Structure 1
Amino acid sequence: MELGAFSISLAVADLDASRRFYEALGFVVTGGDADEGWVILKNGESTIGLFHGMFERNILTFNPGLTNGMAKLESFTDVRVIQERLQDAGLTLTTTADGEAGPASITLTDPDGNDILIDQFF
């Protein structure tokens, strides 16, 4: 099962301080809106999202339909198909996707309490 691009979404206390820290590690801001409390940074194929005031804990994020280089794939497994496969495997989802196509997301939590977001943009 292909989950798409991987990134980590960090819940940060100080967006500017966190951005400066990751820039010192070689990350470059490639997206987001600091005025809205979030930025996306990349270093090669690694992606980190910094989010202030949007959620309480860090989240492992997968984006079906995207490569780690953020290129759109022509063919990918829809999040609703991933949802069905995860439920068939006996996993409990925290949130589920509705509809038959288009943007949607699901969430679940691993055995150690780590939140996982599978977020399809298109």
Structure 2
Amino acid sequence: MKLGAFSVSLNVTDINKSKEFYENLGFQSFGGDISQNWLILKNENCIIGLFQGMFEKNILTFNPGWNENAENIESFTDVRELQKQLKEKGINMLSEPIESNEGPAHFIIEDPDGNQILVDQHR
């Protein structure tokens, strides 16, 4: 099962302080808009999203169809197919993709300890 590029989406209370902290660890801005309270930081292949006031918990994020540079990859498993495979394995969906055959969509699942996992396809 190919889930795509991996990142951690962090719920932060002060995005500017968090940005400074992670920059001190060697992360550099990669995307996002700090004026909208979200920022993507990268250190080699490690990606962290900082999100202030957008969700309650930290989230593990996978992006089918992208590599770690947010570039399209040729071959990938569509998010709707991933959802189908996981449902067949008995994994409960907290949210499900829209009912379309292609394009952007996402779903959310939770691991046994309540950690949320977002599978978010942008293409």
- TM-score with structure 2 length normalisation? 0.97
**Cα RMSD, aligned residues only:** 0.6
Q: Name the residue aligned to 2:116.
A: 115
Give the structure 2 partner of residue 101 of structure 1: 102
Counterpart of 2:112, as a letter, is: P
CA deviation after TM superposition for structure 1 residue 121, in Å? 0.2
Q: CA deviation at 1:68?
A: 2.0
| Runs of 4+ with >6 A deviation | none
Specify the alignment match of 1:69 in structure 2.
69
Give the AA of the match of 2:107.
I
- Tell me the alpha carbon deviations over residues 42-101 of structure 1, each in whole angstroms, 9 at most, x when there is no partner: 000000000000001100000000112322101210000000000000000000012110
Aligned residues with identical type, % of pairs: 52
The aligned runs of 1:23-34 (5 Å cut-off) are 23-34=23-34
Separation of aligned partners in 1, 2:113 and 2:91: 14
Q: 1:54-93 residue pairs with structure 2 within 5 A?
A: 54-93=54-93
| Number of aligned residues | 122
CA distance in 2, matches of 1:11, 1:60: 11
What is the Cα deviation at residue 33 of structure 1? 0.6
Return 5+ residue gaps in structure 2 as ranges.
none
Distance in 2 separating the partners of 1:46 and 1:69 = 10
What are the ranges of 5 or more consecutive residues in structure 1 without an aligned counterpart? Answer: none
Shift of 1:36: 0.7
